[in-house]
Amino acid sequence: MYLCAIFQPKPLAQLMKIATVIGIDIGGTSTKLALIDRDGKILARSAFNTHERQGGANFVDSICKATETLIHTHQNSHQVLGIGIGTPACDEKNGAISGAANLPFRETVPVRRLVEEQINLPVRLVKDANASALGEGQFGGAKGMQNFALLTLGTGLGSGLVVEGRVINGNHGLASEFGHTKVVKDGRQCGCGQKGCLETYVSATGLKRTVMELLAQRNDASALRSKSFDRLSAKDLTEAAEAGDSIAREAYRVTGEMLGYKIVDLIVMHDPEAIFLAGGLALAGDWLLQPTREAQKHYTLDMFKGRTEIYLSNLGSEDAALLGAASLIWNLPTL
Amino acid sequence: MYLCAIFQPKPLAQLMKIATVIGIDIGGTSTKLALIDRDGKILARSAFNTHERQGGANFVDSICKATETLIHTHQNSHQVLGIGIGTPACDEKNGAISGAANLPFRETVPVRRLVEEQINLPVRLVKDANASALGEGQFGGAKGMQNFALLTLGTGLGSGLVVEGRVINGNHGLASEFGHTKVVKDGRQCGCGQKGCLETYVSATGLKRTVMELLAQRNDASALRSKSFDRLSAKDLTEAAEAGDSIAREAYRVTGEMLGYKIVDLIVMHDPEAIFLAGGLALAGDWLLQPTREAQKHYTLDMFKGRTEIYLSNLGSEDAALLGAASLIWNLPTL
């Protein structure tokens, strides 16, 4: 009887289930979820509007509902081992979100504990920029690298820095704010209250500001003169650059020049193997990459020359954070 | 007979010997040695002129001779457990010195292996700036801190960066060149071949350059007008500042302002607990520290405000590297 129980075969379906984790990327606009396998393949996706319900408890409830739906829809074929969450305003140590500027709550919400209680799976939280760096390191171009940085060029400029194999967080979990290093003394006003921060020049918004400046300074005919600041997108600018618009081309050149110049600081401080560019603005490809590389080469001192490459992230700009958040679970010592 | 041998007491002198290590600080001018106990107390010192003999083999020979003399002079009372060496142009991984600009050899010299063969004690090598950071962390104001930087303001600006308890080296052992981050685009010519590096403004030499600039721009009477660039020292400038010389005071203000402004980059990237200033220029004390702190406060964004302190190193500016090099031996897993 006892022996029988030991040798009783498990149902075939249970044996065949694919081990997966859920990666969640909380953004100011939408919160994305994905079911991800060990190789970083995204097997299923869902999303909800981050602001669909107000308050921390409601937001956690939305996360749990979306997660449960994803789990139940695939429960016959997939077993979920845990949930990794990339989020702004993240207190990684305590698994909480605190003082978020763009989320539907400002109070401190112990997301890890609340989701674990409701879903009964291990949950880990990580800063959004760090999640993207982890994703690049685990599944992208930085695979196997011990020292690299990932810069996410979107509305602002986020960054994750991997030093000797570990994402650095600093003394209060605030490290890696490359977007708030200064590139022009007393330069453009930044949302942080300071002036001349890199992200006021190098980001989708920074690029638009540069276009406005060029339209003010020059007389070149440009399709961009018919666009308002609010309606102008990085995509418009890439299209204009491709059509030969001199203002759009110069805006990308100035932006890449600023980025390459400032990347040299990052190189001499961290001596990384590579720097990866992700986010919406990175979709501009060579329009951004080429002037960035040229400026890097020009401003790098001899002993560092040729040691650090700049690449575009080869993960979809949308997916690095999802994959990185998921990697937290794959790397849990208990799995 | 066998039992007798076991219980035979050791000679009293051997039992009472104080465990020590030898710290060595290789500098462009002189190479300093010290016998150091576990508490970082310097029990004996010696030094030799770095350029007394040319070539790598001769230099290693000088190190071994000075070390042996130190060991033999104190052999009745002290037992030496190993030798820690702080040096420029250091390849820490291989224990070698390679391509040194200011040492009496340029070739790659496997110092660790050569000294170990001759002295038969464990030897470790560390970059000079990292040695100072280790010294500050082990025996100075950074004791117990997991995240801090030590800036050595001398002829140039050296820096050691401790991130989450470890000195960072980067992918090719070149990290932490804070002196070669850029502070003025296309600014002053730097010895590295680039322009506008921080050390062209913030160092003993940078301070002198600022004095020359002020003497050119202003008409203030100043004792500094009677000094040549070559004969001017940071000590002269401190004395002039104390005597009320407006050029000297302004030179320190400008230097501190540059340093504080650039320290903000270091803060937003690393979120350190503290930054320590060491080296000859740090002896200026408040003349440098006060404008540095003011600029740091002015240029720091709100979320980082009040989180990072700037201090003067409380180790003698001469001893941090010696103590840090020694700490390598105390921290060997075999001891």
Question: Chain A residue closest to B273 (CA)?
Answer: A171
> B residues 57-96 near A, CB within 8 Å?
none
Residue A301 to residue B194, Cβ atoms within 8 A: yes
Residue B272 to residue A307, Cβ atoms within 8 A: no
Residue B231 is encoded by which pair of tokens?
């004969």
> Residues of B with CB below 8 A from A302's CB?
192-193
Residue B1 is encoded by which pair of tokens?
């007979």
Question: Chain A residue closest to B193 (CA)?
Answer: A301
Looking at residue A126, its pLDDT comes to 94
Question: Chain B residue closest to A198 (CA)?
Answer: B265
> Residues of B with CB below 8 A from A171's CB?
146-147, 271-273, 307-308
Looking at residue B139, its amino acid is F
> Residues of A with CB below 8 A from B266's CB?
269
> Residues of B with CB below 8 A from A185's CB?
261
Evaluate whether A268 touches B181 at the Cβ level (below 8 Å). yes
> Residues of A with CB below 8 A from B176's CB?
269
Looking at residue B10, its pLDDT comes to 55
Residue B265 to residue A265, Cβ atoms within 8 A: yes
Residue A169 to residue B164, Cβ atoms within 8 A: yes
Q: By the CB < 8 Å criterion, does A301 face chain B?
A: yes
Residue A271 to residue B172, Cβ atoms within 8 A: yes
Which residues lie below 8 Å from residue B331, measured CB to CB, with a gap of 6+?
none
Q: By the CB < 8 Å criterion, does A164 face chain B?
A: yes
Looking at residue A185, its pLDDT comes to 97
Which residues lie below 8 Å from residue B230, measured CB to CB, with a gap of 6+?
none
Q: By the CB < 8 Å criterion, does B276 face chain A?
A: no
Q: How many Cβ atoms from other residues are within 10 Å of residue B326's Cβ?
A: 36
Q: By the CB < 8 Å criterion, does A172 face chain B?
A: yes
Q: How far is CA B152 from CA A69, A167, B227, B299, in A?
A: 57, 27, 25, 22
φ, ψ of residue A298 in degrees (nearest 5): -65, -40
Residues in chain B: 335
Looking at residue B3, its pLDDT comes to 46
| pTM of the shown model | 0.88
Distance separating alpha carbons of residues A303 and A287, to the nearest angstrom: 28
Q: By the CB < 8 Å criterion, does B172 face chain A?
A: yes
Q: By the CB < 8 Å criterion, does A271 face chain B?
A: yes
Give the distance from residue A193's alpha carbon to the nearest chain B alpha carbon, in angstroms: 6
Distance separating alpha carbons of residues A95 and A87, to the nearest angstrom: 10
Residue B175 to residue A265, Cβ atoms within 8 A: no
**Paired strand residues for B34:** B23, B45
Residue A180 to residue B301, Cβ atoms within 8 A: yes
Which of B146, B172, B269 lies nearest to residue A307, judging by beta carbons? B172
Give the distance from residue B152's alpha carbon to the nearest chain A alpha carbon, in angstroms: 15
* Alpha helix positions (H), A31-169: 56-73, 111-119, 128-139
Residue B268 to residue A301, Cβ atoms within 8 A: no
Q: How many CB pairs under 8 A join A and B?
A: 119
Query: Which of A330, A293, A313, A334 has its CA nearest to residue A38?
Result: A330
> Residues of B with CB below 8 A from A178's CB?
268-269
> Residues of B with CB below 8 A from A308's CB?
171
Q: By the CB < 8 Å criterion, does A307 face chain B?
A: yes
Which candidate in B127, B266, B269 is best for mutational testing of the A interface (most A CBs within 10 A)? B269
Looking at residue A28, its pLDDT comes to 83
pLDDT along chain A (335 residues), means of 10: 50 73 92 95 95 94 97 94 94 88 90 97 94 93 96 92 93 92 97 95 96 97 95 94 98 98 97 95 96 98 94 83 92 74
> B residues 194-213 near A, CB within 8 Å?
194, 197
Q: How many Cβ atoms from other residues are within 10 Å of residue A40's Cβ?
A: 20
> Residues of A with CB below 8 A from B273's CB?
171
Distance separating alpha carbons of residues B225 and A70, to the nearest angstrom: 77
Looking at residue A220, its pLDDT comes to 95
- In order along its 335 residues, chain B shows pLDDT tens digits of 444 445 555 555 556 799 999 999 998 889 999 999 999 999 999 999 999 989 999 999 999 999 999 999 999 999 999 999 999 889 888 899 988 878 999 899 999 999 999 999 999 999 999 999 999 999 899 999 999 999 999 889 999 999 999 999 999 888 999 999 999 999 999 988 999 999 999 999 999 999 999 999 999 999 999 999 999 998 999 999 999 999 999 999 999 999 999 999 999 999 999 999 998 899 999 999 999 999 999 999 998 999 999 999 988 667 889 999 999 998 887 66
Give the distance from residue A221's alpha carbon to the nearest chain B alpha carbon, in angstroms: 30
Looking at residue B189, its pLDDT comes to 97
> Residues of A with CB below 8 A from B158's CB?
none
ipTM, 2 dp: 0.87
Q: By the CB < 8 Å criterion, does B180 face chain A?
A: yes
Q: By the CB < 8 Å criterion, does A175 face chain B?
A: yes
Distance separating alpha carbons of residues A121 and A115, to the nearest angstrom: 8
Distance separating alpha carbons of residues B165 and B308, to the nearest angstrom: 16
Query: Which of A116, A55, A44 has its CA nearest to residue A85?
Result: A116
